Amino acid sequence: MSDCGVFSERRKSILKVGAKILQAARHWLDQNGFLEVQGPTLIPAFGDWPGYFEVNYFGRKAYLAQGLQPYSDAFVEGFEKIYTIAPSFRVENVETKRHLTEYWRIEVAERCGLEELVRVQEQLLTHVCHFLAETSVKDLSV
């Protein structure tokens, strides 16, 4: 396949690093007993939900989900430790190129206290940074 010049080297590096971040995050979460789940992106209307995009879904009111809510509690109840990697949508009107209206997020949930939550975040971030340092030095320097 020929390179049609659509992606600069910098853009290619950004996409490669993003893929490596997700690869490393999935690896750490899977190794630490978390189950990857996917909740619906389009959820039914249960009244007015501030912070959600309302959409017309075949003549009915629905919303674009901003995370696993309202389903994460059920997932945690069934599996204890879960995560998802999914799109999220900003409701506010964005007027800069630095703030996208759609972005991808890693959402982790488990029944735990604040200390455990902080420990999970620190270990996950540390793992991702070490993985990038080992695998993506060239792409991080572009």
The domain limits of the chain are 9-140
- Whether the ω angle into residue 70 lies within 30 degrees of 0, i.e. cis, is yes
pLDDT score at 54: 81
3-state secondary structure of 36: strand
Q: Cβ-count burial of 10 within 10 angstroms (0-12 exposed, 13-18 middle, 19+ buried)?
A: exposed
pLDDT beyond 90 at 47: no
Per cent of the chain over pLDDT 70 is 92
- pLDDT class for 61, splitting at 50, 70, 90? confident
Superfamily of chain region 9-140: Bira Bifunctional Protein; Domain 2 (3.30.930.10)
The pTM assigned to this predicted structure is 0.84
Average pLDDT over residues 39-66: 78
Residue scoring higher pLDDT (100 or 3): 100
Q: Record the tokens describing residue 56, joined without a space.
A: 């017309």
- pLDDT class for 23, splitting at 50, 70, 90? very high
In this structure, are residues 136 and 17 in contact, taking their beta carbons and an 8 Å threshold? yes
- pLDDT class for 75, splitting at 50, 70, 90? very high
Rg (Cα) of the chain, in Å, rounded? Answer: 18
pLDDT score at 78: 95
Distance CA 33, CA 36 (A): 10
In this structure, are residues 132 and 14 in contact, taking their beta carbons and an 8 Å threshold? no
Q: Cβ-count burial of 31 within 10 angstroms (0-12 exposed, 13-18 middle, 19+ buried)?
A: exposed
pLDDT beyond 70 at 17: yes
Q: Which of 38-52, 86-100, 109-123 is predicted most confidently?
A: 109-123
Residue scoring higher pLDDT (94 or 131): 131
